[in-house]
A = this chain, B = another copy of it.
Amino acid sequence: MSDRPDLGRGPTLRDVALRSGVAVSTASRALTRPGRVGAQTEARVRAVAEELGYVPSASARALTSGRTRTVALVVPDTANPLFFGMVRGVQSRLRDAGFVHVLADTEESVEREEQVMAELRGSVDGVVLAAPRADEASVTAWAEEFPVVTVNRDVPGPRVLIDTAGGVVHALQHLASLGHRRVAYAGGPRRSWSDRQRREALIAAAGGLDVELVVTGPYVPRREGGPAAADATLLHGCSAVIAFNDLLAFGILDRFAERGTTVPDEVSVVGCDDIFGTDLVRPGLTTVAVPVERAGAAAADLLLRRLAAGARGGARVVELPTHLVVRGSTGSVPR
């Protein structure tokens, strides 16, 4: 093996300066303040930098500027395809702004979340905190200490909220129009703000639609939670079920298939999120589409603006609409 014990970081600005015959400060300016030094000097320095393969040290920069040009995206579960989209949204904006992002998974745990946020404070300029599970007090405290943009959690500070409440109500209307009079809501994590929004919106809307709503759960918001939710739906004599999220809905479909209960002839199923896979199942899953990539992008924008503007810059709130995507998993009530 090419035995280079000197796992050396590359050339530094000093090397560039030396080689171009200028002072370090001049080299710095030549590379970062176009026009601040003579055109000729600038060209020479640039050439040398290129030649040496000089790459500025991000840490050194961060040290003087106080900004790391790094933001973190903290999500409760990196295995959920829902967050893939958010990652992409955040990333696209960040990249254009010359930022990089780190990804942290809190595994749906409040403790991990707290730990992660504490660690992050020392190493990033700001955080996009998706669907935090911690108390409002904690989240607020973090937001006071450093720039935080939350997604799907209605706490003070800049935030992006996705109106899934409106979406599930549309779903309920859709079901009502198909004749369903008894509908189950298979709930998600109790600490989830989204779950509460959806649940309460459904309860509020049910009366006006002459629908009886049965709330079941909470279920683990993954496929494994589905069987219990499916069985509860039938147990309570519901002809349709709205699941907290698509993952859960997939599990519900699995279970119905296993039981020989046909969808949508015997029971209708609605999911939420419109993640990868909703149009892969047969029948396709009717679901409330959340614009998750846009949400990520919006959150990144908010964060970037906050970083640019300092503490002032206000606490903007972006609300994103959802829409119902009707596929094959919903149909008329069986008679």
Contacts and interface: CB of A to CB of B under 8 A. Distances in A.
Nearest to A92: B105
Interface of A: 1-7, 9-10, 53, 55-60, 62-63, 66, 68, 70, 78-79, 81, 84, 87-88, 91, 100-105, 118-119, 121-123, 144-147, 250, 276-277, 280-282, 307, 310-312, 314-315
A177 B37 CA distance: 74
Given A59-B68, A250-B280, 17 more contacts: A1-B311, A1-B315, A3-B312, A7-B66, A7-B146, A7-B307, A10-B121, A55-B121, A58-B123, A59-B62, A59-B63, A81-B276, A88-B105, A100-B102, A101-B103, A102-B103, A276-B277
Given A84-B84, A100-B123, A66 B9 contact: yes
Nearest to A145: B10
Contacts of A100: 102, 104, 119, 123
5 contacts: A7-B147, A78-B87, A79-B84, A101-B103, A281-B282
A155 to B, nearest CB: 14
A103 B78 contact: no
Contact of A84 (B2, B4, B78, B314): B78
Contacts of A281: 280-282
Contacts of A307: 7
A314 B58 CA distance: 28
B84 A88 contact: no
Contacts of A144: 2, 4
A178 B284 CA distance: 30
Contact of A63 (B60, B68, B146): B60
Contacts of A103: 87, 91, 101-103
Given A145-B10, A312-B5, A315-B1, A118 B55 contact: yes
Given A7-B311, A276-B81, A59 B123 contact: yes
A4 B312 CA distance: 8
Nearest to A70: B102
B310 A7 contact: yes
Contact of A78 (B91, B104, B312): B91
A63 B66 contact: no
A122 B57 contact: yes
A315 to B, nearest CB: 6
Closest 8 CB pairs of A and B: A5-B310, A58-B123, A59-B62, A55-B122, A282-B282, A59-B59, A277-B277, A280-B280
The interface centre, meaning the residue of A4, A81, A280 with most chain B CB atoms within 10 A of its CB, is A280
Given A56-B122, A63-B59, A78-B84, A102 B104 contact: no
